Amino acid sequence: MEIGLEYSANVEDDEQSVEYLVPVALEAVAFFFKHNAEVDAIDLLEELNLHEAVVNYVTKDTFERVCMYMISCSPLLPPPADTNYLQTARTIYRKLGKPAQCLPLSIRLGRSDLIKEDWESCTTRVEKAQLAFIMARQQVHMPELIDDDDEELKACMNNTNLSKNYLNLARDLELLDPKTPEDIYKSHLENTRADATLDSARHNLASTFVNAFVNAGYGTDKLMTTEAEGKEWVFKNKDMGMLSASASLGMIMLWDVEDGLLQVDKYLYSSDNHIKAGAVFAIGMLTTSVHDETDSAKALLSEYITENNPAIVKLAAICGLGVAYAGTNREEILELLLPIISDTDITIDLSSMAALAAGLVCVGTGNGDVSPVILQAMMERMDSELNHKYARFMALGLSLLFLGTQDTYDTIRETLKAVTHPIGKQASVLMQVCAYAGTGNVLEVQKMLHL
């Protein structure tokens, strides 16, 4: 637009004033809004660095189009314009009394004070319930916002009825009948001999995964949840296959804490460490996204990361904690994981998986307590240990801390240069990838093309 070009030309010339352009631009903005050209109005204001002024022109008839456009543009803008667009969109929603639309933006901005403000702006109990469900979906757990005696809202925020609601939906869609792997394979349609299907460990392992995914969250299947078939199927596998079989219960009983723990319990006392490890990991899987009063995942899994347990069981417990509390940024969970990361006397696999679990727990937060611990662990480990295949998970855990945070990782990336092992360079690139994941940042894409 001519006004924008004139503004840019005068800004480059410090002696020229641009104030005279503002009234003209605002008149044009008012004209655009009257003639359903909100996009042109926003673009003009952006060229003049006045995008906040759009708040003064929106009405109940135009605010949805304006906010959708600004939110869509946010990933394509460089910092800090990207967050400024989100803040402006949130201001518009708040002006029009739309707390349910404000909350996702407050969560994207990572501002707990804004989340509290959105909650307090709710005028009805139904709105608070809606916000509680949104927070539960995004793993934002702030029970302090709810009165102690309000059990219904607590159930919404804690995802207490998630399994029940999921099963009700599956029942309405007539999907509750358990399926077998054969229902997916449909091997009877293939032109092969009947004896070609072998009862091999690899085939059984594949069937375990298929069975878990196709019956995920339904609480019932034909391989694991029946008393006779469950134990028989586990022992048709070997080592990691047995671990996967017992762990698949966590997927089948997903979100159903009460019944799920009863199903898993019988495998926790197995004499085979692989079966026991799978059951331990199943605990973390079935409790993910659900907060219960007893904090079952933490209470149970913390017992299995002690020194008197086999390494594979510890590994499963650490992974279980990461899955169960992903995105919660819980300090109590970090207190269990950080000592394992920093302990150079234990094997690199345990330390690396603890770093990955911590990255999952604090994903996208840039937690300043976790990143230095992982960095220090990478510096103190010997090159022979960093050559281990599990060491890459330490770099991934560090990178997950900065998922979607864009340019907030510069200090950590500079510190990574002190890691002389090649994994330091790998971690640096991985951190860059995670930091700008989903942002559409063209400049970063160009940098990566020249690596």
Burial 144-183 (b: 16+ CB within 10 A, else e): ebbeeeeeebbbbbbbbebbeebbeeeeeeeeeebeebee
Nearest residue to 70 via CA among 94, 49, 54, 47: 54
Averaged pLDDT in 10-residue chunks for the chain of 451 residues? 51 53 79 86 83 87 90 82 89 92 89 90 90 88 82 87 90 87 76 55 86 90 76 82 90 90 88 91 91 85 85 92 89 91 89 93 87 90 87 91 81 84 88 82 78 73
For 239-285, write each residue's pLDDT tens digit: 888 899 999 999 999 998 888 888 888 888 888 899 999 999 999 99
**Chain center to CA of 446:** 26
**Greatest alpha-carbon span in the chain:** 88
What is the SS3 assignment for the chain?
CHHHHHHHHHHHCCCCCCCCHHHHHHHHHHHHHHCCCHHHHHHHHHHCCCHHHHHHCCCCCCHHHHHHHHHHHHHHCCCCHHHHHHHHHHHHHHHCCCHHHHHHHHHHHCCHHHHHHHHHCCCCHHHHHHHHHHHHHCCCCCHHHCCCCCHHHHHHHHCCCHHHHHHHHHHHCCCCCCCCHHHHHCHHHCCCCHHHCCCCHHHHHHHHHHHHHHCCCCCCCCCCCCHHHHHHHHCCCCCHHHHHHHHHHHHHCCCCHHHHHHHHHHHHCCCCHHHHHHHHHHHHHHCCCCCCCCCHHHHHHHHHHCCCCCHHHHHHHHHHHHHHCCCCCCHHHHHHHHHHHHCCCCCHHHHHHHHHHHHHHCCCCCCCCCHHHHHHHHHHCCHHHHCCHHHHHHHHHHHHCCCCCHHHHHHHHHHHHHCCCHHHHHHHHHHHHHHCCCCCCHHHHHHHHCC
Q: How far apart are CA 367 and CA 417, in angstroms?
A: 20
Q: How far apart are CA 377 and CA 202, in angstroms?
A: 36
